[in-house]
Structure 1
């Protein structure tokens, strides 16, 4: 058991080290005349939309237009947007059958956009001044149809610290090639829906959000779709490009990660494997102490977690919560899978959807 634990801890340590070493950094200057459409779907985002728009409006070194789709908000979101004269406020039509809310709003935003590049951001994302220009330049130089990154996650509570940093642990510690553009297989695609830059022509050629209308994890689904159609996608270091506080507290984080778990880890075939990988590498060693192999396994786990936190610009104190984060992540996934097998529907922001699973 000691050797098993050490081997399962060594896997993310080696993958994580390689992904951190080779992770692309978005650089470059956008071509003159490039227009980036910054597209923001918003449903009851009055607490966030003002700061989001202020950051987007501060974009420099590229021409931009900013569009917000108010998706039946009831909290004053539209009024806040309307006070920004440089922003186009759109109203989402009634949600058609078979669509999820955010995907529908994004599809309508793309229809109204005029840009060469479509930059989809969530309302709780704050773009860095050069983010739009840099992402467009990086994508154009590398001939990418999609480039994405995980924004620097702002942590405001213990519940968020337990859950949110695990995004980067999974992407950098367990995804071969870390979403880099050289690997073109759809199964190794990755993306973060909080920050998605797409080549408008390639996006429309594959059907855009209309081709993934039933999903909740639109970033991952678009990356897989584009790769399946022969396009290149890439994940870059997102921490210098944007910041985000995606959830407020433990309950909201649990619900948020559970809502689209079915499109990632929480499948009948996949979750037992993930449980072996995560629990075997990060939890089992605690039961084997003081076995030197268990000590080595724990050291590897904390070391790669610390390295990922440093790259992602996350608070380093969250590293101490690593084993608890693994336990919580698995609990979320197993709850989501059990609910799916029971026929329970996925829900978010007052809407419920049939459960879908990733191919």
Structure 2
């Protein structure tokens, strides 16, 4: 076996081994019944197309008492009208208005902060406006968090991909999470760096939220899925991940352009840092792209690494209940991820501001 093939095999076996352990450790909480009120909190800025289905799913929650609160964040479409019409028929639904965005805040964090202040529940279930909850999701998460003594419990919803552009970007969420975060270790070691969450689906115990400052403590962040669990772990509180695919579904983006912009928005708080990105490039290029290059060059010694990386991707795709047709796109998806992250890191500072939902934020 050549040196390059051996390197590729080692780098391919790292995510394969981590994914194997994570797939065994990651479970969806079972349906359960509880008595504590769960506040389902939805920040909404121009979400008229998503809200009818999202609210219908949230209001169909069973097993626990719920309230659903939507924060209208200065929408210019019919977001408030849709919510108000549904609220007139269901007293469990409320619409609140988000005040003007204060300096130093990002829009979602501010809206979530306002939502938490209005919530009455013991548990705060933050979901994005494009997330469709399963009927047992709120109860299962709340009861599981109470039994485990977990202050923050999160999972990645089943990601719906309807276009090639989405298939090249969105499935990398679960590949990176399950292939590179040692979840069993994260449950035993409370180090903040091992904290992770998916901002699409996060359940937080209300007292813990207030004690840590919640979104106010990470007000400038564009990536609450990274910053909130680290905040909680620094405060000595437990965070954990569950299998979110059976609990909820989400179509994040509808095109490659939307996906590129969305993932670029929070790249600087994840992989796209001068220290982290070279390491990620070594791991992703060496473990997922190099095996393909070796095999295409006629080097059969690269075949074990290729089989390992594709088996990892297939196993993660099955676990996450994602579209099977995205599996053959894996090497292109990895290349796209690296291109996106390097673009975010290297683009000129004056062009390095993140724009989202009509707002522009400076990149640290």
Q: Which TM class, normalised by the smaller chain length? A: over 0.9
Match of 1:11 among 11, 14, 22: 14
Match of 2:335 in 1: 327
Per-residue CA distance 1:40-61 (angstroms, 9 max, x = gap): 0000001101110000000001
* Cα distance in 2 between the residues matched to 1:293 and 1:105: 53
Aligned pairs for 1:184-195 (under 5 A) are: 184-195=190-201
User: 1:91 and 1:59 mapped to 2: Cα distance?
Assistant: 24
- Equivalent in 34, 38, 48 of residue 46 of structure 1: 48
Aligned to 1:301: 309
Distance in 1 separating the partners of 2:330 and 2:357? 29
Give the superposition deviation at 1:340.
6.4
Tell me how many residue pairs correspond in the alignment: 355
1:209·1:222 contact (CA, 8 Å) conserved in 2? yes
Q: What is the CA deviation profile of residues 165-197 of structure 1, one whole-angstrom value per residue up to 9, with x for unaligned ones?
A: 000000000112268533311101110000000
1:217 aligns with 2:220: no
Q: Which moved more, 1:217-226 or 1:133-142?
A: 217-226
Residue 291 (structure 1) aligned to one of 293, 299, 309: 299
Give per-residue Cα distances to partners, 1:84-107, cap 9 Å, x unaligned: 123110010000000000000000
Deviations 1:208-240 (A, max 9, x none): 110000001112211000001100001100000
Aligned residue in 1 for 2:167: 161
Contact 2:264 2:340 in 1 (8 A): yes
C-alpha distance 340-138 of structure 1, shift in aligned 2 (>3 A): farther
Does structure 2 conserve the Cα–Cα contact (< 8 Å) formed by 1:153 and 1:164?
yes
Secondary structure (helix, strand or coil) at the match of 2:124 reads: strand
Residues 87-144 of structure 1: CA deviation (Å, up to 9, x unaligned): 1100100000000000000000000000000000000000000000000011000000
Conserved in 2, the CA contact under 8 Å of 1:28 and 1:138? no
Q: What residue ranges of structure 1 are gaps of 5+ in the alignment?
A: none
1:1-359 matches, cutoff 5 A: 1-27=4-30, 29-32=32-35, 34-85=36-87, 86=90, 87-177=93-183, 180-289=186-295, 290-339=298-347, 341=349, 344-356=352-364
Judge conservation of contact 1:5–1:284 (CA < 8 Å) in 2: yes
- Which one is further off, 120-129 or 277-286? 277-286
Name the TM-score, length of structure 2 as normaliser. 0.95
Work out the CA distance in 1 between the residues paired with 2:194 and 2:200: 19
Where does structure 2 lack aligned partners over 5 or more consecutive residues?
none
